[in-house]
Chain A
Amino acid sequence: MTVQNTILVDNRPPRSVQSSMTKLSGWAIVIAILAWSWEGADMRPMALITDAGNMATLAGDFFPPNFADWRLYLEEIVVTFHLAVWGTFLAVICAVPFGILSSENIAPWWIYQPVRRVMDACRAINEVVFAMLFVVSVGLGPFAGVLALWVHTTGVLAKLFSEAVEAIDPQPVEGIRSTGATVIEEVIFGVIPQVLPLWISYSLYRFESNVRSATVLGIVGAGGIGVVLWEMIRGFYFAQTCAIMILIIISVTAIDLVSQRLRKLFV
């Protein structure tokens, strides 16, 4: 037996046994979680078959779509767009300082820790929940939606922004620091030029997803196409519902495409 053989015999089997063990236990955990969640999620696959007739009727009611009120729908979609624009814009403005303040390589721990926790909270709570709260405080309408998107998106973007800041090359920043610059100047001239393309890309991406979220906000009364959509579903006007959904799909897709193009320019 050569030395090489011994090494093979010694090394290979334990390693592969170990990796297959981790794989197996990984799968076991996944299956256990799925099984545990079955009841809670009220899984009734048979209902798909027994209620198939119901669903077919419902689907049938959707067609042909009724575009009679298309002007109203378009107006509301534009409102939805406006709402997403302002919600995202305000969030970007706030995410810049909060993102920088929650970066380990810029702020001391007693600043970035609390800022991060606040941002975590903004992110953890869904826009719809914020929308309900703001509807209560500022009343029904798009402004409640703007506020909801603003708060939630600030939390999301601050995290993304700070991740970009933590990945910068520290050398140019030291170059600036060595001239006797203040911390603010270090950030503006040393950090921001490095992260700007990524920040713009993240902001546009969040704008896309905010347009999508904004269509839902109306359901809780926070303005936009969602309000109309909810009215139609509640009134069982499925042909109109279908028309609205088609318009949403078209406009959201168009916005996504444009925004994707823009993002490519920056990265």
Chain B
Amino acid sequence: MIQIKQLTKTFKNTKGLDNINATVESGEMVALIGSSGSGKSTLMRHICGLMCCDTDSGGQIEVLSRIMQRDGQLSKNARKVRTEVGVIFQQFNLVDRLSVMTNVLMGALGRVPTWRSVSNLFPPAERRLGMESLARVGMADKAWQRASTLSGGQQQRVAIARALTQRARVLLADEPIASLDPESSRIVMDILAQIHREDKITVVVSLHQVEYAIRYCPRTIALRQGRVVYDGPSTALTPSFLKEIYGSETEELFSPAVDNAMRHQSKNTQNQPAPAPAAA
């Protein structure tokens, strides 16, 4: 499903990713964990082709047996490959000023001819699919509101509905719950697990907190400073084992919220809340 070979990404003076090799099989639900700056987002952005690896590094990413990028160059049909890969971002990345429904219909852009989409003439079947997707994440009643009027958790559910409308076969979720309160986090993770189960969608989800990885994903890939330091069953991620691979960074992964996530309402310390959208 996803094949990553020799992926290296160098930023000005830091190694964002250092020779990553990993394979995700069809139908898996994999967690990607690591402390802040370990390269989770960078890896995700490479898989969905929003970022290219170092040139002539031999790095290559295949998604659904088709090349997304190789040697730092996006493949010619990267756009086609992207249509099958749903991406969910930490900051939701919806278009604030468009309605929830229009945002969800963006998932159909890969199938709908450009002249139809730009004149807002999405075929009825696509609109139906969009509405069904919204219903599945429990947001059908908000379809005609502006995306900016929703809470973070609701926006993230809309983003998932967009991926469903995309009929994505792979879903990449980059810290989907890092900006959410525990209750919304649970809802969003439950929805991800549900669509993984029901639609047989392959899911890769990056997480800050190990406890979510253990609860939702059978397999975990752990990153540290751009390297894979563990790849195996999530059950092996005991506090002592994490200490072994992360040392002092462990605390960040086992936040004080460990099992209290549901009890503490306002814990949202991992990450800053979404920045205000650029002044329009």
From B50, B114, B117, B279, A178 is in contact (CB under 8 Å) with: B50
Beta-carbon contacts under 8 Å, B113-134 to A:
114, 117-118
Give A196 to B80 CA distance when docked, in angstroms.
29
- What's the nearest-Cβ distance from chain A to residue B49, in Å? 8
CB-based contact B118/A194 at 8 Å: no
Tell me if B114 and A184 are in contact (CB < 8 A). Answer: yes
- Closest-CB distance, B106 to chain A (whole angstroms): 5
Alpha-carbon distance between A195 and B106 when the two chains are bound, in angstroms:
18
Which stretch from A8-16, A39-47, A131-139, A164-172 is at the chain B interface? Answer: A164-172
**Which of chain A's residues have a CB closer than 8 A to the CB of B92?**
175
User: Which of B79, B166, B280: most chain A CB closer than 10 A?
Assistant: B280
Are B106 and A176 in contact (CB-based, < 8 A)? Answer: yes
B96 interface neighbour in A172, A176, A188, Cβ under 8 Å: A172
Q: Is the CB of B109 within 8 A of A175?
A: no
> Which B-chain residue is minimally distant from A185 (CB atoms)?
B109
User: In the bound complex, what is the Cα–Cα distance between A159 and B270 (angstroms)?
Assistant: 40
- Known A171-B89, A184-B118, A198-B280; contact A178-B48, beta-carbon cutoff 8 A: yes
> Does A123 have its Cβ within 8 Å of any Cβ on chain B?
no
Interface size for chain A: under 10, 10 to 19, 20 to 34, or 35 or more residues? 20 to 34
Instruction: Compute how far the CA of A198 lies from the CA of B279 in the bound complex, rounded to whole angstroms.
Output: 10
A254 on interface, CB distance cutoff 8 Å: no
**A182/B79 in contact, CB under 8 A:** yes
Task: Establish whether residues B94 and A188, one from each chain, have CB atoms under 8 Å apart when the complex forms.
Answer: no
A189 within 8 A of B: yes
| Interface presence of B83 (CB below 8 A) | yes
Encode contact with A along B89-104: 1 for CB under 8 Å, 0 otherwise. 1011111111000100
- Is residue A181 within 8 Å, beta carbon to beta carbon, of the partner chain? yes
Decide if B34 is an interface residue (CB 8 Å cutoff): no
Q: Does B223 contact A (CB under 8 A)?
A: no
Interface majority SS (helix, strand, loop, mixed), chain B: loop
A residues 172-192 touching B (CB-CB < 8 Å): 172, 174-182, 184-185, 188-190
User: Is B177 an interface residue when CB atoms closer than 8 A count as contact?
Assistant: no
Q: Which residues of B contact A172 (CB under 8 A)?
A: 93-96
State the CA gap A195–B89 with chains docked (Å): 22
Kindly state the separation between the CA atoms of A172 and B95 in the bound complex, as whole angstroms. Answer: 5
Q: Is B27 an interface residue (CB 8 A)?
A: no
A193 to B87, CA, bound (A): 21
The answer to whether the Cβ of A141 comes within 8 Å of any Cβ in the partner chain is no
B277 — which chain A residues lie within 8 A by C-beta?
169, 194
Contacts of A171 in B (CB 8 A): 89, 91, 93
B114 touches A169 (CB 8 A): no
- Beyond A175-B106, A176-B109, A179-B82, whether A168 also contacts B278 by CB under 8 A is yes
Per-residue CB contact flags for chain B residues 150-176 toward chain A (1 = under 8 Å, else 0) read: 000000000100100010000000000
B residues apposed to A, CB below 8 Å: 48, 50, 79-87, 89, 91-98, 102, 106-107, 109-110, 114, 117-118, 159, 162, 166, 277-280
The 4 closest A-B pairs by CB, nearest first: A180-B83, A175-B93, A180-B110, A169-B278
Binding site for B on A (CB under 8 A): 167-169, 171-172, 174-182, 184-185, 188-190, 193-198
18 A-B residue contacts at CB 8 Å? A172-B95, A174-B89, A174-B93, A175-B93, A178-B48, A178-B50, A178-B87, A179-B82, A179-B83, A179-B166, A181-B79, A181-B106, A182-B114, A184-B118, A185-B117, A193-B97, A194-B95, A198-B280
